[in-house]
Structure 1
Amino acid sequence: MTLSKEAGVLFDDEDHNDIQNPHQDGLVLTLYVANFFVRMILVDNESSVNIIQLETLKRMSIPESEIVTRSLVLVGFSDEAKNTVGEIKLPVHLEGVNSIHKFCVIDALTSSNIILGRPWIHDMKAVP
């Protein structure tokens, strides 16, 4: 994967290793977030916010005091409503580009450690 200022995020042949085509899998990445290698990051163009699990922050040794308390109600695709614990800004590193992104913190276990939604997608000029 490369990041081009003109073209955004690009995937090359090496990124297609171990993928059987055609596929309907979601776009799942591994990135450096706050100097930690975080796996199972889902890129979701249906999400209007970036989301990180409270448990993921704990595993990254980021204290809860770094979270700005702000409760929002997030509604998932199953119409389940979930209140956020707060918000946190974290640096995300992608192919030589460091950027700061705001994440809503949820205290729930999901299949992804982080969900990168439209705010991140637009900042990175990515098309999932």
Structure 2
Amino acid sequence: MAHIDNPIIGFTKEDARCLHHPHDDALVVSIWIRDYNTHRVLVDNGSSVDILYYIAFQQMRIEREWLIPTNAPFVGFGGTKVYALGGITLLVSVDDYAQQITRDVTFLVVDYSSAYNAILGSPTLNLWKAVTSAYHLMIKFSTK
């Protein structure tokens, strides 16, 4: 008999009640990064890294010396090579009233122009065992 460690996560019609369909909007959320309420965070299942853009990094008043050097480039949205200024692990909290998840997330900090302050990619989504729905513009994960 199979043992299920995780609850089944699903989406309902009620989850999409406030949306106008059809839509092609991106899944963008607000999260707490190091005690800063960070808006315009893109949830991107296709990203292999978690990214914090340098302008948001600066607004959090984090010393650049805290960055751990990295020299591996990755491919940006336009297909160009992007080099990170470094990596940093920060405490991230996502909550909706009584439901909350708080974990350390390692971001690559990039000095690159973007409409977003950060990108949550598959490393964090997998760590959180999160499930996303582009149709519902929603992310769900289990909490205690």
TM-score by length of 1: 0.84
- 2:135 is matched with which residue? none
Amino acid at match of 1:86: G
CA deviations over 1:43-66 (Å, ceiling 9, x no partner) = 011110000011111101111111
The SS at the match of 2:31 is strand
- 2:102 is matched with which residue? 98
Amino acid at match of 2:111: D
The SS at the match of 2:74 is strand
RMSD: 2.2
Higher strand share: 1
CA deviations over 1:71-125 (Å, ceiling 9, x no partner) = 2201024211111111000111022221001001101121110011100111122
- The answer on whether the counterparts of 1:9 and 1:125 sit within 8 Å (CA) in structure 2 is no
- 2:7 is matched with which residue? 6
Q: Distance in 2 between matches of 1:65 and 1:7?
A: 42
- The answer on whether the counterparts of 1:92 and 1:100 sit within 8 Å (CA) in structure 2 is yes
Correspondences of 1:1-128 after superposition (within 5 Å): 6-7=7-8, 13=14, 17=18, 19-95=19-95, 96-128=100-132
The SS at the match of 1:30 is strand
Instruction: Indicate the percent of aligned positions where both proteins have the same amino acid.
Output: 27
Structure 2: where are the runs of 5+ without partners?
1-5, 133-144
Q: Figure out how many residues of one structure are paired with residues of the other and give that number.
A: 123
Q: Distance in 2 between matches of 1:13 and 1:27?
A: 17
Q: Distance in 2 between matches of 1:110 and 1:31?
A: 17
From the superposition, tell whether residues 16 and 100 of structure 1 become closer, same or farther in structure 2 (CA, over 3 Å): farther
Computing the radius of gyration from Cα coordinates, the structure with the larger value is: 2
Large movers: runs of 4+ above 4 Å:
7-16
- The answer on whether the counterparts of 1:8 and 1:124 sit within 8 Å (CA) in structure 2 is no
Amino acid at match of 2:7: E
From the superposition, tell whether residues 15 and 32 of structure 1 become closer, same or farther in structure 2 (CA, over 3 Å): farther
Q: Distance in 2 between matches of 1:38 and 1:15?
A: 24
Structure 1: where are the runs of 5+ without partners?
none
TM-score by length of 2: 0.76
